[in-house]
Amino acid sequence: MAWSRMMKWVTGGCEAFLGIPIIGGSLVFSTTWGILLVMFILHLITLLLANRGNRSIAGSVLGMVTSFVGVIPILGMLMHIITAIILIIDAATPER
């Protein structure tokens, strides 16, 4: 499995976890939004790997945006869920 595809599974799973209403929000608040910085870095790494492997970078770019928007409670939760769906679908899509 390509590194970019594996990282999309990882970041998609993390985004899905952060999208869980009470649990994800509690993690974001308990780390004083530090987890959003970690996710931004993971999305940046995934973007670089995907770009190098000629794979889609849309999910990683959206994830980086979500890391900034994640500080807004309801909007952040929705963005985490949307980003998770896009990353997981992209990771499950076979290479051409």
pLDDT for 14-63, tens place per residue? 999 999 999 999 999 999 999 999 999 999 999 999 999 889 999 999 99
pLDDT for 53-64, tens place per residue? 889 999 999 999
Please indicate whether residue 95 or residue 93 has the higher confidence score (pLDDT).
93
Q: For residue 3, what is the enclosing H or E element?
A: helix 3-18
> Helices (DSSP H) in 1-96: which residue ranges?
3-18, 21-30, 34-52, 58-69, 73-92
Q: Which pLDDT value is given to residue 96?
A: 67
Q: Is the pLDDT of residue 1 over 70?
A: no
pTM above 0.85, yes or no: yes
Q: How far is CA 43 from CA 33, 40, 54, 96, in A?
A: 16, 5, 16, 22
